[in-house]
Structure 1
Amino acid sequence: MNKSARISAVMLSVAVSVSLLAGCGSKTATNSNGKVTQAITFNLGAEPKTIDPALSTAIDSGDVIGNAFEGLMRLDSKDKPVLGTADSYKVSKDGLTYTFHIRKGALWSDGKQVVAGDFEYAWKRALKPATASEYAYQMFYLKNGQGYNESGLSADKKTAGVKAATAADVGVKATNDSTLVVTLENPTTYFLSLLAFQTYMPVRKDVADTNSAWATKPATYISNGAFKMKEWKPKDVMTFVKNDKYWDTKNIKLETLNYKMLEDQTASLSAYKAGQIDMLYQPPQSEIPALVKDGSCIITPNYGTYYYVANLTPEAVKLNPEAAKAIQNAKVRKALSLAINRKDIVANVSKGGETPATSLVPKGSLEPNGKDFASKAYYPAAGDIAKAKKLLAEAGYPGGKGFPKLTFTYNTGAGHQNIAAAVQDMWKTNLGIDVDLKNQEWKVFIQTRNDKKYILARDGWLADYTDPMSFLDLLTTSSGNNDSGYSNPVYDAKILAAKKELDPTKRMAILHEAEDIIMKDDVVIPIYAYTNTVVLKSNIKGVRTSPLGQHWFQGAYVTAAK
């Protein structure tokens, strides 16, 4: 999770990182010397599908990786990129070449020196077709990165205008153990921020190449950040401890960081109240107003959008031909979107201080003219039932007559279920159509979405850096995180043009044109703009929750409870 080095200064007026200091406390554990035990238990909300930096796509795994690994850069208290594993860097005048120098004191958790080759290996591993990294497209900023990643595709599936390339052609090269030279396709103002993102973390070749399950076991989960894995009890807890080999370990106060994996929000809050958990996010929606009132819960900005996504691929046809025919009609998707009263959902269902989403890109990034990029409402926040009915009739389903029953899939959690039930009712009441709700546990749900084994599903995106591009390149044909399967050469060309455009004003204009295409095609059905809703004990200090949704524990510590 990261920010543009140049752009973020003005963006942070909307999205500011916050140290969370409030909450109700319980008796604090002490050691044999009478000192407060420096241990925090945080509920991830689900067991991560993977904590391999190249394969991670979710915020839960991002939390784990971000506290266990460190990139060339890290993010400061305002989410600006600062030196991390690199102790210096230089940028060429044309903005295309970066030269980084690795810290002499940067070590892996097993004591071996971190070298420039660890970054070259990790980045090329993420791009390697056989790795099947959904985040490989985040490496397309590198010279020939996309060409290498698409080298295994048939000619008809390769992106037009992208030259074929080999691993040796990719713009990252360790010239010696301490020097890494990076060459970009185009100047990228937020590239330094990307270097703090999980996909850009270093990985050891001798570890990852010799054991496909390396990221599941303490003995092989070798990391270079503030914490290292001690134990992983599946579906229960992951225990990390302070990494004494970390170059900045003297400033890490926390000794133990436990990640619980309770998916049920009610159970998570009960565990918190019983003193078994110190921190959690996304408490039960019905409890949020009371938790905020008594100071236990803090709501902070989050640069992300909660939305629904339709399957636009042939896989949907295989699952249910009639349902696929309906959902792949743009008029149907627009009707479904217009039939939703987003104001009602945020006021009466989600209750976390969210705002109705009427575009894909949420508020939180400013253009050169000082205006927020998210200045256009593509839908009325309260919906437009009359227009929705008209569009549904034009699509061949007047009053919902003849409309096939759709199945909406979401990951287990009362919050998602409550919102889905509210939308289900709106679609039935306003359009006369029936929708079945189907829930799956998190790891299964991610795979279902990725494999396109659904008709309509819950989705959402928390930006990787504070720029509209983090949302808009998500829906390009080559994006591994494009769960809709949307493919539009005109749209792809717009995104590529925006990446090449050096004039900030012109670049933003192109990105607006790109979002116009997405919203005209109703590729996604936005519901609301996320917030960070965190419950934390009052004696837990220094935990930082980013507007990008990540939780950082490098500055965390525990004091005696009052």
Structure 2
Amino acid sequence: MRHGWSILFAIAFTFASLLAVGCGRQPEADVIFLTTSEHNDLDPQRISWLHDSRVVEQMFEPLVVHDFTTHETKPGVAESWDISDDGMTYTFHLREDARWSNGDPVTANDFVFAWRRALTPDLAAQYARMLYRIEGAEAFLHWRTEQIEQYAQVSRDANGGRGEIAEQVWQLAEDRFEQSVGVTAEDDRTLVVRLERPAPYFLELVAFITFYPVHARSVQEAMTLDPATGMWRMDTRYWSDPNRLVSNGAYKLAGRRFRQYVHMTANEHYWNAGQVQNASIMERIVSDPQNAMTTYRRGGANFWPGVPAGAMASELVRDDRRNDVHTQTMAGTYFYNFNCMPQLRDGRDNPFADPRVRRAFSKAIDRDTIVQRVTRMNQPVAMSYIPPDVIGDYNPPTEHGITFDPERARELLAEAGYPNGEGLTGLSILYNTGAEHGDIAQAIRRMWEQHLGVSVSLESVEVNAFFDRLRSQDYVIARASWFGDYPDPTSWLDRMLSDDANNNTAWSNEAFDALLTEAANETEPSARLALLREAEALLLDEQPMAMIFQYVSVNLWNPDQLEGLNANPWAKWNMDRIRVRR
């Protein structure tokens, strides 16, 4: 069997595991941390949720690692790298002692295989767009999508042999990728990446989870080519099976029970195993926050990162008697979208197409009241779109932020042709159920009625319908938020480009687009950041979104018992550095 286990040992292990589950027992671990969410996926190329990435980041390591406390990019699987003078070619030199958990060497081809998976629509990678900076990557994804559509038509007419046709079609796709996409394994330890255009933040991108390697041989064995569709299908059980899953990070999977736990033990083949501070970690899954708190208080967990927002979290923030409550500002902003289309979906002229109206409504929001009396979390009031202190050398233009000024708000409405709010009818706030969105919407509605004389209704819908309406601009005002994916201003600003699919406001500004284009071609770092700062300032002046507050996370651990935690705005935890004082 894989890993050299004897059949007898495997049977004994399985029997012991069944006994443990039957008795409701869970494995022991040096460090136990809590989550209230079961995992959606543990496939590096597919995941998009924070709690999923928290586990995967412990088991896999990318080419480079970004330190979110020092803002440095450090070697990971790549011990060094070279960047061409024009910033278009990156050559990564993989360390000789990088090993998978089964002892196999980590090769450049493992990265080529993983990145090709991410760019293959068969697998529906959530963050495939992150690889679009690579030469030919976006074009390949679109080409493969069309190829699959054409295969569906051809295979319907085939009387037989669809499996053979599917293999031939995939061979064409492999050849296309090799010939057109700028990712090449020159040898086992040399990976060359060519970009579409310079991207000074490419190393930060490479540290992102979609760029993680996977063990090509074992993952390929878990994939099958569907003759009916011509698409690859992944046996998702691979990611939960410690006998099959091969990883290259500080830990390897030791066991997983649905809605109970994920157990990981130190990977003895990890190149930096000597620096790992504990022999095992376990994520305990307790879906109910109250039960999770009971588990933590009774010593069933050492650490609870990201206590869910709500009454419990706000009570913890206000309890100054505890030394185990750690509040951390996050790389995310809560705001309200204004629909900026000239006409609304019902054909009416849209008042929010006028930036004066958007600024007026933004200036009539008392953000201090929201964070002190509604959320009761005392989040930092948002004076910029990109939160301060989350990107090394970037200082957002907070001086352009909107402050509470009802008098000026009324003046702006009058200038726009709506004195005392007259003529502003049929307005509504769209938000999804859950969290505290309804409480915030109620408070803001009252503020607009009091300070602007405008009546606004509330629309609460379930989350899928909410996002559908947001994407189709089927709203007037809508709650929204954005967390950065990687530590560069473009992670926020690019989504506000006129043609970006994530620009749910339909705001379009030629000057903003031009600044981002100029920044994309600027290779001098300080000049580039200056252009991006100018773009954000323009965005804040135009106010397609009313910034409200920056997110904070509430994390629980006793500093007298745990050391080595690296709290940071990106919620990236190096579990291998945690030590438990006995």
Pick the TM interval, shorter chain.
0.7 to 0.9
Paired with 2:579 and 2:442, the residues of 1 have a C-alpha distance of 40
Q: For residues 212-240 of structure 1, what are the alpha-carbon distances to aligned partners after superposition, in whole Å with 9 as ceiling and x for unaligned?
A: 35378412654322233445555554444
* Distance change >3 Å, CA 268–CA 187, structure 1 → 2: same
2:400 pairs, out of 374, 377, 395, with: 377
Q: What's 1:75 paired with?
A: 66
Bigger mean CA offset, 507-516 vs 456-465 = 456-465
Q: What's 2:252 paired with?
A: 228
Paired with 2:579 and 2:474, the residues of 1 have a C-alpha distance of 43
Q: For residues 229-288 of structure 1, what are the alpha-carbon distances to aligned partners after superposition, in whole Å with 9 as ceiling and x for unaligned?
A: 4455555544444334433334331412215363x6555444433434431324634313
Structure with larger RCO (C-alpha < 8 A, sep 6+): 1
Deviation at 1:542, TM superposition (A): 1.9
Contact 1:322/1:404, CA 8 A, preserved across alignment: no
Q: Structure 2: give runs of 5+ residues left out of the alignment.
A: 1-27, 147-174, 225-232
* Residue 363 of structure 1 pairs with residue 384 of structure 2: no
After TM superposition, the structure 1 = structure 2 runs for residues 18-167 of structure 1, keeping only pairs within 5 Å, are 37-43=29-35, 45-76=36-67, 78-128=70-120, 131-149=123-141, 167=177
Paired with 1:507 and 1:151, the residues of 2 have a C-alpha distance of 32
Secondary structure in 2 matching 1:356: coil
Q: What's 1:10 paired with?
A: none
Secondary structure in 1 matching 2:576: coil
Contact 2:101/2:269, CA 8 A, preserved across alignment: yes
Paired with 2:72 and 2:380, the residues of 1 have a C-alpha distance of 26
After TM superposition, the structure 1 = structure 2 runs for residues 504-523 of structure 1, keeping only pairs within 5 Å, are 504-523=525-544
* Residue 179 of structure 1 pairs with residue 190 of structure 2: yes
Deviation at 1:101, TM superposition (A): 2.2
Q: For residues 424-468 of structure 1, what are the alpha-carbon distances to aligned partners after superposition, in whole Å with 9 as ceiling and x for unaligned?
A: 433444343334253657xx5896578658635443333344432
Paired with 1:59 and 1:408, the residues of 2 have a C-alpha distance of 25
Contact 1:141/1:184, CA 8 A, preserved across alignment: yes
Paired with 1:136 and 1:449, the residues of 2 have a C-alpha distance of 23
Paired with 1:267 and 1:313, the residues of 2 have a C-alpha distance of 46
* Distance change >3 Å, CA 274–CA 445, structure 1 → 2: farther
Deviation at 1:361, TM superposition (A): 1.9
Paired with 1:457 and 1:228, the residues of 2 have a C-alpha distance of 42
Q: Give the TM-score normalised by structure 2.
A: 0.73
The amino acid across from 2:314 in the alignment is: S
Deviation at 1:200, TM superposition (A): 1.5
Q: What's 1:404 paired with?
A: 426
Deviation at 1:553, TM superposition (A): 1.0
After TM superposition, the structure 1 = structure 2 runs for residues 247-326 of structure 1, keeping only pairs within 5 Å, are 247-252=271-276, 253-260=278-285, 262=287, 268-277=292-301, 278-282=303-307, 284-310=312-338, 317=345, 321=346
Deviation at 1:405, TM superposition (A): 5.4
* Distance change >3 Å, CA 440–CA 40, structure 1 → 2: farther
* Residue 550 of structure 1 pairs with residue 572 of structure 2: yes
Contact 2:32/2:300, CA 8 A, preserved across alignment: no
Q: For residues 35-59 of structure 1, what are the alpha-carbon distances to aligned partners after superposition, in whole Å with 9 as ceiling and x for unaligned?
A: x95031222x534544433333343
* Distance change >3 Å, CA 366–CA 51, structure 1 → 2: closer
* Distance change >3 Å, CA 518–CA 235, structure 1 → 2: farther
Bigger mean CA offset, 252-261 vs 382-391 = 382-391
Q: What's 2:204 paired with?
A: 193
Q: Give the TM-score normalised by structure 1.
A: 0.76
Q: What's 2:552 paired with?
A: 531
* Residue 469 of structure 1 pairs with residue 469 of structure 2: no
Contact 1:129/1:151, CA 8 A, preserved across alignment: no
Secondary structure in 2 matching 1:545: coil
* Distance change >3 Å, CA 447–CA 351, structure 1 → 2: same
Secondary structure in 1 matching 2:99: coil
Q: What's 2:25 paired with?
A: none
After TM superposition, the structure 1 = structure 2 runs for residues 327-338 of structure 1, keeping only pairs within 5 Å, are 333-338=358-363
Instruction: State the percentage of identical aligned residues.
Output: 27
Bigger mean CA offset, 493-502 vs 301-310 = 301-310
The amino acid across from 1:260 in the alignment is: I
Deviation at 1:499, TM superposition (A): 1.6
Secondary structure in 1 matching 2:421: helix
Deviation at 1:520, TM superposition (A): 4.3
Deviation at 1:472, TM superposition (A): 0.9
The amino acid across from 1:459 in the alignment is: A
* Distance change >3 Å, CA 537–CA 90, structure 1 → 2: same
* Distance change >3 Å, CA 285–CA 377, structure 1 → 2: farther
Paired with 2:341 and 2:427, the residues of 1 have a C-alpha distance of 18
Paired with 1:234 and 1:397, the residues of 2 have a C-alpha distance of 58
Q: For residues 24-74 of structure 1, what are the alpha-carbon distances to aligned partners after superposition, in whole Å with 9 as ceiling and x for unaligned?
A: xxxxxxxxxxxx95031222x534544433333343333233222210012
* Distance change >3 Å, CA 484–CA 402, structure 1 → 2: closer
* Distance change >3 Å, CA 294–CA 195, structure 1 → 2: same
Paired with 1:48 and 1:327, the residues of 2 have a C-alpha distance of 39
Q: What's 1:162 paired with?
A: none
Q: What's 1:242 paired with?
A: 266
* Distance change >3 Å, CA 334–CA 259, structure 1 → 2: farther
Q: For residues 68-92 of structure 1, what are the alpha-carbon distances to aligned partners after superposition, in whole Å with 9 as ceiling and x for unaligned?
A: 2210012346242211112232233
* Distance change >3 Å, CA 90–CA 481, structure 1 → 2: same
* Distance change >3 Å, CA 336–CA 555, structure 1 → 2: same
* Distance change >3 Å, CA 440–CA 481, structure 1 → 2: same
**Which protein has the larger Cα radius of gyration, Structure 1 or Structure 2?**
2
* Distance change >3 Å, CA 129–CA 449, structure 1 → 2: farther
Contact 2:43/2:239, CA 8 A, preserved across alignment: no
Q: What's 1:498 paired with?
A: 519
Contact 1:214/1:221, CA 8 A, preserved across alignment: no
Q: What's 1:436 paired with?
A: 458
Paired with 1:233 and 1:400, the residues of 2 have a C-alpha distance of 59
Contact 2:266/2:280, CA 8 A, preserved across alignment: yes
Paired with 1:216 and 1:525, the residues of 2 have a C-alpha distance of 44
**Number of residue pairs the alignment of both structures matches:** 504
The amino acid across from 1:67 in the alignment is: Q
**Higher helix residue share:** 2
Q: Structure 1: give runs of 5+ residues left out of the alignment.
A: 1-35, 155-164
Paired with 1:421 and 1:236, the residues of 2 have a C-alpha distance of 37
* Distance change >3 Å, CA 408–CA 366, structure 1 → 2: closer
